[in-house]
Amino acid sequence: MIEIDEITKLYEGTAAVDHVSMTVETGTITVIVGTSGSGKTTLLRMINRLIEPSSGEVRINGEATSALAKHELRRRIGYVIQGDGLFPHYTIAGNIGAVPKLLGWTKDKTRARVDELLDLFSMEPAQFRDRYPAELSGGQQQRVGVARALASRPDLLLMDEPFGALDPIIRARAQADLRHIQRQLGSTIVLVTHDMEEAIHLGDRVAVMDGGKLLQHGTPAEIIAAPATDFVAQMVGGVDRPLRLLSLIPVSEALEDGTADGEPIAPDTSLRDALSLCLWRGVEALPVADGDTPLGRVTLATIRARAAELA
């Protein structure tokens, strides 16, 4: 668990980040979203102390980062930035293995880790291990960049606009890949973007920043359904199309086996209403029944996945 506690950064008396507190649960993706200059990058960089906070602290599993040596922080926190250059004169294996090597891992252990990651990213190790970055497509290079950051099994991976340079089609694919791999490895990720759609798509939690302040921190569904301020509502304004479309799809089209607690809903209830009800009841799933006949259930995860498909 990562605890960000009342963290502030002042530049000549002006707060770039103003008393921000939030908790990031292990094994989840938190996306920090906001307009340019809202303090996202400053907040992210205070987590690994690339920027020293003016006040407040960050704890990783209860341990203050201010008490950790830089090399220890580098081992525990991976970092990826937009267009992060791979080392051009290192092979792909050399790139992914760079941090493990620095940490003194054995050759065998490093090689096994490199192959495991290449496999996870659907890049055949025998085919890619010995190539150089210039011999890879943009999307492949981006995947190697993320693999490199994950190589030493960091407690936390920080990503600053990692997909900013990718064209929209590769970008959607890169997001899906990241989510898949994050689920497989159980990694904890904090990612910065200015794109609310990306935040909704990727985040288990979304943190909305403006003027250095954290305006709202919640699940994508909460942010969409109950924006805390007009600014947040405006930010999600552009992504309400999927929600509007959800109101056209009946629950019967998203049914799955199983049951859930609470009063059942009818199969012709819209997914949008089901979403509101989940939020209202604070549950992950709703039972669906036709009169007295149970039909199954509909889950928040399914509704979110449908919304993402429509985005």
Ligand X SMILES: Nc1ncnc2c1ncn2[C@@H]1O[C@H](COP(=O)(O)OP(=O)(O)OP(=O)(O)O)[C@@H](O)[C@H]1O
Kindly state the number of chain residues that form the binding site for ligand X, as judged by CB under 6 A: 11
19 binds ligand X (CB under 6 A): no
32 versus 298: smaller Cβ distance to ligand X: 32
Shortest reach from residue 212's CB to ligand X, in Å: 7
36 versus 184: smaller Cβ distance to ligand X: 36
Whole-number Å distance between alpha carbons of 179 and 194? 18
Per CB under 6 A, the segment of 32-40, 70-78, 99-107, 281-289 that binds ligand X is 32-40
299 binds ligand X (CB under 6 A): no
Q: Which of 24, 30, 41, 171 binds ligand X (CB under 6 A)?
A: 41
Each residue 78-107 as x (binds ligand X by CB under 6 A) or -, in order, gives: ------------------------------
- Exposed / middle / buried, residue 149 (Cβ in 10 Å: 0-12, 13-18, 19+): buried
Whole-number Å distance between alpha carbons of 103 and 151? 11
**What residues are paired with 64 via a beta bridge?**
59
Question: Which contiguous run of DSSP H or E holds residue 58?
Answer: strand 55-60
Quick one: tokens of 16? 């770039």
Q: Which of 2, 7, 16, 77 binds ligand X (CB under 6 A)?
A: 16
Question: Which contiguous run of DSSP H or E holds residue 9?
Answer: strand 2-11
Whole-number Å distance between alpha carbons of 7 and 52? 10
The interface with ligand X within residues 135-194 (CB under 6 A) comprises: 194
11 binds ligand X (CB under 6 A): yes
| 101-120: burial string, b at 16+ Cβ within 10 Å, e else | eeeebeeeebbebbbbbbeb
Residues that bind ligand X (CB under 6 A): 11, 16, 34, 36-42, 194
